[in-house]
């Protein structure tokens, strides 16, 4: 074996009381695509941020080309030929691709060699199949294009090692195939790729070798020949006795229930900005999944149900009554509850206490607010305490600022809040994204319980695997229209996936 | 409860260090200039408490300052800047002057006139602030700009009223109106202006509104996270409008009290103390409490202690009053920096 390109030895990193990395040894050979696999919170991103100079390790050593190096900042790692593409775009939205790529690198204070830079960018994108418009402002382009720009930027700065953090999060299927193609070309030209992911399939399709992490430690590294799904799943979830099926999914059984005769939520040829002629319904005792690749009207769908004033045509009915023209609070009063997609930005009052957060959305209910407009804080506190105990929200008490909760606990309190007033209809958007498997399981069980008790659940998600476990039906949204509807006995991943990407 | 204790300890640390720092700076400068530092220190901090006069002066300054501090603090809860507290104060004072002078021939008794004037003053303050709020809510015009512009309007409205033939005091060499009818003025109790009652009522009202009512909750919710508030059915535009109306009404009430209780007439440039406008001082004071409306009365009182101390320093030791503005500015900056550092947001 030749000397590895990059080697991390016994690297540890602690955040507060959490051991994010615990004596990690990790090395990468030249010219391979190395998968870095693990659950959320396994330490993948932290490890790579140490390598990229964003975090200083508490102990341990980094070697590049066999030489010990000190990486104090991304500037150092770029000089060593390491480039990183983050999960969230770091491009300047108001700049075009060329301006973004040359930012911080080219020319002196007074000149900008734009033509030369453009030439070089074109060469790189032609070579590796990473085409994108050079002069369009970045804010207008898709996530896939942004990613290409970021990869070219890293290459432009001379990256020999490219770290991709969850690169497929916002890509559609065709973009994933393209990305894979480009990565393979990069490897033949001497670039090494580290591919951070928690998706089994991507590892199997993209990677020459894989390192599996769990709870801040490296479980094992496997070569191409040794990789099997069963083995990888075992490594990812060692002590958990879960079914070794397709991937890491919670084990929740869904018993048949009797669905209500009348639908609790109906959309009747609803049109709105970004949505065309949507018609479907959700009965009581039913979970209906909405499958969509992000950006196909799923946000608008969630929004139109809780903000029905924006409807331009058609009608939304809750338990038979039209909600067109109602305010959000009136919709809630009709028995609809909602959990938004982005829990930090839309779901919580960050600096507010858990108590204040519990009131959000219930601040029109007589139970919590007197008719003179005074808040009954005692009742709110009591409701908060029951949410905390019933949903196992891990917090010292209910006065804690909600931003200090972990993602999972924050989401549990959001879900708990949705159920405070026994809704008949729940609209929930990506409730499990970024959560560990036990929390996902908890949320699944709550949804199933609502179904058992006769409630209607509309569950919008881009994770088809998850949708297929729980849904009684799946409605596929593509381009703001319904592209297909599948009953549970006709669930077929390929067929549904195809509809999602417009096939 | 651990959270609350930690917050308290943090507060003590922040304010202790900030006040200590600014005091050290001021005293060091005074020492360099050859002043008696010990005397300067006691003058600055204890003038307010050593004589009845000092204490009355402190209260007199604290009342208007508290109102302009509220005027900045309440919209600041939802991250908007009301720079127009001063102008709203002027509007309030002008309106009560004009109305009471116009009604003078009618001879209304104080019991009718005073409450009516208070309402007029609050409405007159709320009006320009409401315009700024409406411009933001409806047309997305930055309130910083609109409130600053409205300050100019307010200033010249005072001039207009104070120089109008009908109202002006012909013997004065400065734009000043004739005195208000006696029924339109407020008296003092042991030298303390009766407007103290209005100030206390305002504190109670603001406190109850923000802490106990749905409206107050909605304001705080928007301040915490505008997106989440909207998502869960809080009307953002309505909240903006309401906070501006409220802050304008409070500033207007401050101006009303100044005219009715302190000057008894409208004087150009009346909303000032020790040469600084109450509007600017209110912004300064609000920054000290970082937009926490519950601490406003305490902060306004503390700043007034410094202002009275400063006046006294100037009188007794010939130390320029500006020295104290410097120290207040240092306190504000130090508080802001420490708070950012300690909350971990500064990294």
3-class SS of residue A476: strand
Query: B263: closest CA among B327, B178, B328, B161?
Result: B178
Residue of A348, A375, A399 lying closest to B217 (CB–CB): A375
Residue B10 near chain A (CB below 8 Å): no
> Whole-angstrom Cα distance, residue A469 to residue A461?
12
> Whole-angstrom Cα distance, residue A403 to residue B305?
37
Q: Most B CBs within 10 Å: which of A54, A326, A373, A405, as the mutation test of the B interface?
A: A373
How does residue A246 score in pLDDT terms, banded at 50, 70 and 90?
A: very low
Chain B residues within 8 A of A306 when measuring between CB atoms = 231, 233
- Strand A6-15 vs strand A59-64: parallel, antiparallel, or unpaired? antiparallel
Residue B5 near chain A (CB below 8 Å): no
3-class SS of residue A83: strand
- Cβ atoms of B143 and B75 within 8 Å: the answer is yes
Crossing angle of helices B52-77/B214-224, nearest 10°?
A: 70
pLDDT score of A250 = 65
CA distances from B132 to B92, B135, B237, B312 (A): 16, 5, 12, 38
Flag whether pLDDT at B229 surpasses 90: yes
User: What's the mean per-residue pLDDT of chain A?
Assistant: 87
Q: Angle A55-A57-A61 (CA atoms, 0-180°, nearest 5)?
A: 125
Flag whether pLDDT at A245 surpasses 50: no
Q: What percent of chain A has pLDDT over 90?
A: 50
The helices-and-strands tally (H runs, E runs) of chain B is 13, 4
Could you give the ipTM of this predicted complex? Answer: 0.84
How does residue A248 score in pLDDT terms, banded at 50, 70 and 90?
A: low
Query: A494: closest CA among A485, A503, A475?
Result: A503
Residue contact A401–B3, C-beta within 8 A: yes
- Cβ atoms of B154 and B132 within 8 Å: the answer is no
Closest-CA distance of chain A to residue B342, Å:
15
Chain B residues within 8 A of A352 when measuring between CB atoms = 220-221, 224-225
Query: B96: closest CA among B260, B251, B222, B263?
Result: B260
Residue contact A375–B215, C-beta within 8 A: no
Tokens found for residue A110? 């007074």
Residue B2 near chain A (CB below 8 Å): yes
> Whole-angstrom Cα distance, residue A37 to residue A194?
10
Residue B343 near chain A (CB below 8 Å): no
Flag whether pLDDT at B68 surpasses 50: yes
Residue of A346, A349, A374 lying closest to B224 (CB–CB): A349
Tokens found for residue B281? 């001082």
Chain B residues within 8 A of A369 when measuring between CB atoms = 214
Beta bridge partners of residue A195, listed in sequence order? A35, A164
> Whole-angstrom Cα distance, residue A150 to residue A154?
6
What is the number of CB-based contacts under 8 A between chain A and chain B? 80
Residue B104 lies inside a defined structural domain of this protein: yes
Q: What does the DSSP 8-state code read for residue A6? A: E
CA distances from A22 to A9, A15, A197, A237 (A): 11, 11, 20, 17
> Whole-angstrom Cα distance, residue B255 to residue B252?
5
Q: What percent of chain A has pLDDT over 70?
A: 93
Residue contact A396–B2, C-beta within 8 A: yes
Q: Most A CBs within 10 Å: which of B8, B220, B233, as the mutation test of the A interface?
A: B233
Q: What is the pLDDT of residues A327-382, one digit of tens each?
A: 999 999 999 999 998 888 899 999 899 999 999 999 999 999 999 999 999 999 99
pLDDT score of A241 = 37
CA distances from A11 to A16, A174, A212, B112, B194 (A): 17, 37, 16, 79, 69
3-class SS of residue A212: strand
How does residue B345 score in pLDDT terms, banded at 50, 70 and 90?
A: very low
Residue B80 lies inside a defined structural domain of this protein: yes
Chain B: residue nearest A363 by CA? B214
Residue B210 lies inside a defined structural domain of this protein: yes
Report the pLDDT averaged over residues A224-245: 65
Residue B209 near chain A (CB below 8 Å): no
For A306-321, letters b (16+ CB in 10 Å) and e give bbbeebeebebbbbee
Closest-CA distance of chain A to residue B232, Å:
5
Flag whether pLDDT at A60 surpasses 80: yes
Flag whether pLDDT at B221 surpasses 60: yes
Chain A residues within 8 A of B212 when measuring between CB atoms = 374-375, 377
Residue B214 near chain A (CB below 8 Å): yes
> Whole-angstrom Cα distance, residue B58 to residue B308?
6
Chain B: residue nearest A336 by CA? B232
Q: What does the DSSP 8-state code read for residue B295? A: G
- Cβ atoms of B128 and B91 within 8 Å: the answer is yes
- Cβ atoms of A445 and A452 within 8 Å: the answer is no
Residue with tokens 């708990």: A416
Residue B200 near chain A (CB below 8 Å): no
Flag whether pLDDT at A239 surpasses 60: no
Residue of A328, A364, A373 lying closest to B213 (CB–CB): A373
Q: What is the pLDDT of residues A140-159, one digit of tens each?
A: 888 888 899 999 999 998 89
Chain B: residue nearest A299 by CA? B231
Which CATH number goes with the domain that contains B114? Answer: 1.10.3470
- Cβ atoms of B162 and B268 within 8 Å: the answer is yes
Tokens found for residue A167? 């690169």
Residue contact B233–A400, C-beta within 8 A: no
Chain B residues within 8 A of A345 when measuring between CB atoms = 225, 227-228
Classify residue B46 as exposed, middle or buried by CB count within 10 Å of its CB (0-12, 13-18, 19+).
Answer: middle
Residue of B1, B224, B233 lying closest to A332 (CB–CB): B233
Chain B residues within 8 A of A364 when measuring between CB atoms = 233
Residue contact A338–B212, C-beta within 8 A: no
Flag whether pLDDT at A247 surpasses 60: no
CA distances from B188 to B20, B56, B184, B191, B260 (A): 35, 10, 14, 5, 11
Flag whether pLDDT at A86 surpasses 90: no
Residue contact B224–A351, C-beta within 8 A: yes
Structural domains of chain A in order of their starting residue, each with its CATH number? 6-236 (3.40.50.300), 249-335+423-503 (3.40.50.300), 349-421 (no CATH)
> Whole-angstrom Cα distance, residue B216 to residue B203?
14
- Cβ atoms of A301 and A460 within 8 Å: the answer is yes
Residue contact A356–B1, C-beta within 8 A: no
Flag whether pLDDT at A242 surpasses 60: no
Chain B residues within 8 A of A400 when measuring between CB atoms = 3
Residue contact A399–B227, C-beta within 8 A: no
Chain B residues within 8 A of A374 when measuring between CB atoms = 212-214
3-class SS of residue A159: coil
How does residue B37 score in pLDDT terms, banded at 50, 70 and 90?
A: confident
> Whole-angstrom Cα distance, residue A168 to residue A206?
12
Flag whether pLDDT at A240 surpasses 90: no
Rg of chain B over Cα atoms, rounded to whole angstroms, equals 21
3-class SS of residue B106: helix
- Cβ atoms of A53 and A76 within 8 Å: the answer is yes
Closest-CA distance of chain A to residue B347, Å:
13
- Strand B188-189 vs strand B192-193: parallel, antiparallel, or unpaired? antiparallel
pLDDT score of A381 = 95
Residue B256 lies inside a defined structural domain of this protein: yes
Cβ neighbours of residue A193 closer than 8 Å, sequence gap 6 or more: A32, A33, A34, A161, A162, A163, A164, A183, A186, A187
Q: What is the pLDDT of residues A379-434, one digit of tens each?
A: 999 999 999 999 988 888 899 999 888 888 899 999 999 999 999 999 999 998 77
Q: What does the DSSP 8-state code read for residue B236? A: H
Tokens found for residue A14? 């602690």
Closest-CA distance of chain B to residue A306, Å:
8
Residue contact A369–B214, C-beta within 8 A: yes
Cβ neighbours of residue A423 closer than 8 Å, sequence gap 6 or more: A335, A336, A337, A455
Residue B345 near chain A (CB below 8 Å): no
User: What's the mean per-residue pLDDT of chain B?
Assistant: 90
CA distances from B215 to A375, A419, B81, B289 (A): 9, 24, 20, 22
Residue contact A360–B212, C-beta within 8 A: no
Rg of chain A over Cα atoms, rounded to whole angstroms, equals 25
Chain B residues within 8 A of A331 when measuring between CB atoms = 233
pTM: 0.76
H/E run at residue B141: none
Residue contact A346–B1, C-beta within 8 A: no
Chain A: residue nearest B215 by CA? A373
Question: How many domains, in total, are found in chain B?
Answer: 1
Residue contact A373–B215, C-beta within 8 A: yes
Q: Most B CBs within 10 Å: which of A375, A398, A428, as the mutation test of the B interface?
A: A375
Cβ neighbours of residue A3 closer than 8 Å, sequence gap 6 or more: A65, A66
Closest-CA distance of chain B to residue A376, Å:
8
- Cβ atoms of B261 and B117 within 8 Å: the answer is no
Which domain, by its residues, includes B296?
36-318
Q: Computed from CA positions of residues A130, A131, A134, A139, in that sequence, does the dihedral angle turn out positive or negative?
A: negative
């Amino acid at each position: 074996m030749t000397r590895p390109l990059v080697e991390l030895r016994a690297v540890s990193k602690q955040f507060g009381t959490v051991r994010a990395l615990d004596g990690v040894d990790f090395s990468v050979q030249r010219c391979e695509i190395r998968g870095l696999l693990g659950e959320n919170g396994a330490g993948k991103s932290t490890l790579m941020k140490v390598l990229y100079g964003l975090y200083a390790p508490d102990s341990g050593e980094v070697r590049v080309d066999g030489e010990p190096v000190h990486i104090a900042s991304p500037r150092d790692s770029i000089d060593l030929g390491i480039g990183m593409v983050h999960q969230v775009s770091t491009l300047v939205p108001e700049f075009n691709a060329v301006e973004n790529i040359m930012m911080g690198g080219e020319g002196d204070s007074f000149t900008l060699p734009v033509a030369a830079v453009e030439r070089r960018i074109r060469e790189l994108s032609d070579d590796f199949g990473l085409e994108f418009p050079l002069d369009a402002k970045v804010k207008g382009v898709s996530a896939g294009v942004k990613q290409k720009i970021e990869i070219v930027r890293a290459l432009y700065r001379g990256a020999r090692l490219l770290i991709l953090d969850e690169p497929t999060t916002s890509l559609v299927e065709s973009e994933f195939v393209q990305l894979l193609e480009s990565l393979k070309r990069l490897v033949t030209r001497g670039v090494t790729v580290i591919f951070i992911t928690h998706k089994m399939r991507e590892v199997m399709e993209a990677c020459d070798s894989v390192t599996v992490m769990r709870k801040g430690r490296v479980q094992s590294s496997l070569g191409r020949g040794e990789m099997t799904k069963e083995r990888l799943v075992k490594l990812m979830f060692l002590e958990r006795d879960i079914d070794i099926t397709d991937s890491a999914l919670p084990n929740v059984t869904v018993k048949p229930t009797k669905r209500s005769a009348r639908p609790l939520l109906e959309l009747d040829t609803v049109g709105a900005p970004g949505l065309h002629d949507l018609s479907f319904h959700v009965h009581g005792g039913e979970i209906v999944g909405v499958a969509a690749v992000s950006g196909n009207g799923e946000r608008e769908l969630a929004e139109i149900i809780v903000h029905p004033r924006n409807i331009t045509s058609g009608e939304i009915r809750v338990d038979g009554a039209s909600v067109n023209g109602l305010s959000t609070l009136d919709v809630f009063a009709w028995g609809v509850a909602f959990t938004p997609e982005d829990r930090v930005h839309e779901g919580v009052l960050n600096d507010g206490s858990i108590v204040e957060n519990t009131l959000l959305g219930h601040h029109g209910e007589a139970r919590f607010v007197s008719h003179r407009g005074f808040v009954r804080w005692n009742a709110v506190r009591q409701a908060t305490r029951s949410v905390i105990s019933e949903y196992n929200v891990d917090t010292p008490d209910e006065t804690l600022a909600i931003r200090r909760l972990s993602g999972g606990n924050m989401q549990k309190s959001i879900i708990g809040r949705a159920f405070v007033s026994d809704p008949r209809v729940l609209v929930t958007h990506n409730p499990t994204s970024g959560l560990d498997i036990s929390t996902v399981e908890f949320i699944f069980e709550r949804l199933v319980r609502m179904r058992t008790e006769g409630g209607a659940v509309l569950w919008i998600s881009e994770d088809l695997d998850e949708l297929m476990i729980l849904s009684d039906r799946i409605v596929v949204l593509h381009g703001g229209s319904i592209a297909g509807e599948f009953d549970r006995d006709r669930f077929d991943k390929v067929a549904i996936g195809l509809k999602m990407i417009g096939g | 409860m651990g959270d609350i204790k930690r917050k308290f300890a943090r507060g003590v640390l922040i304010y202790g260090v900030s006040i200590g720092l600014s005091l050290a700076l001021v005293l060091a400068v005074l020492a360099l200039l050859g002043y008696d530092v010990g005397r300067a220190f006691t003058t600055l901090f204890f003038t307010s408490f050593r004589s009845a006069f000092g204490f009355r002066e402190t209260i007199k300054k604290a009342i208007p300052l508290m109102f302009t501090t509220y005027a900045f603090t309440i919209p600041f809860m939802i991250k908007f800047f009301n720079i127009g507290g001063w102008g709203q104060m002027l509007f309030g004072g002008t309106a009560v002057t004009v109305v009471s002078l116009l009604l003078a021939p009618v001879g209304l008794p104080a019991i009718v006139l005073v409450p009516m004037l208070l309402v007029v003053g609050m409405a007159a303050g709320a009006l320009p602030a409401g315009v700024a709020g409406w411009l933001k809510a409806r047309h997305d015009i930055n309130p910083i700009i609109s409130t600053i512009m409205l300050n100019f309007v307010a200033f010249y409205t005072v001039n207009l009223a104070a120089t109008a033939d009908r109202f002006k005091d012909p013997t004065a060499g400065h734009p000043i109106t004739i005195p208000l009818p006696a029924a339109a003025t407020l008296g003092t109790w042991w030298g303390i202006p009766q407007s103290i009652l209005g100030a206390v009522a305002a504190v109670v009202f603001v406190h109850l509104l923000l802490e106990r009512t749905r409206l107050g909750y909605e304001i705080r919710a928007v301040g915490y996270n505008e997106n989440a508030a909207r998502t869960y059915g809080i009307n953002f535009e309505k909240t903006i409008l309401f906070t501006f109306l409220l802050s304008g009404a409070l500033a207007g009430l401050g101006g009303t009290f100044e005219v009715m209780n302190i000057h008894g007439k409208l004087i150009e440039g009346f909303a000032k103390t020790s040469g600084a406008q109450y509007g600017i001082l209110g912004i300064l004071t609000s920054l000290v409490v970082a937009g926490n409306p519950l601490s406003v009365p305490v902060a306004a009182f503390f700043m007034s202690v410094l202002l009275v101390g400063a006046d006294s320093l100037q009188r007794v030791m010939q130390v320029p009053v500006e020295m104290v503005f410097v120290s207040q500015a240092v306190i504000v900056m130090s508080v802001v920096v420490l708070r950012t550092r300690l909350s971990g947001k500064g990294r």
